[in-house]
Amino acid sequence: MKSIVVFIGLFLATSMLQAAPIVKGIDAVSVSYGQSKDNINVYRLSVRDSFNQEWAKSNIGYFDGYFELSANYFEKDSDSNFGIALSPVFTYNFTLGKLQPYIEGGIGVSLWSDTMIAGRNLSSKFLFEDRIGLGLKYENYDFSFRYMHYSNAGIVQPNSGIDIFIASITYKF
């Protein structure tokens, strides 16, 4: 039940942000849900500031990207953790008309409220957020699926890390 309440809260917050952008530069909002292989649920609300570039444009596509600021809630049973993250993400967008598939990758930083989640010892509240993914843009909507990894990159031991598969829906203003 707690998971459903968190997801509905994230959806409502995204809807409010979509209706009235508060901060100049924010041009998209996103809501996501994912899960690790050992069933840690991840709920994510993010805002984006797109680069709006078309680097190395060709007949096939072009490079672009965005900065993403996110709030992340991790939970399994009665154990939970909260984190914020900031990541630059680079995309390669294929030009195929109204439907625009893309691939993405990025490495950012995150700060968590605790060093433990579901028996995993992350050893640090400061973690890196790595991602690779693919998506499909259609008009103002962006549907994506990505693999994300959180760890401290071996700065402190042990370095359990978390691997997540996550799906997102993004609305661009």
Specify the CATH number for the domain of residue 40: 2.40.160.20
**Low pLDDT (below 50) residues in the chain:** 16, 19-22
Determine the pLDDT at residue 11: 58
Determine the pLDDT at residue 20: 43
Query: Which residues span the domain enclosing 6?
Result: 2-172
Structural domain count, the chain: 1
**How confident is the model over 96-143, as pLDDT tens digits?**
888 999 999 999 999 999 999 998 899 999 999 999 999 999 999 999
Single pTM value for the model: 0.84
Rounded distance between C-alpha atoms, residue 66 and residue 75, angstroms: 27
Determine the pLDDT at residue 119: 87
DSSP code at position 155: S
Determine the pLDDT at residue 25: 82
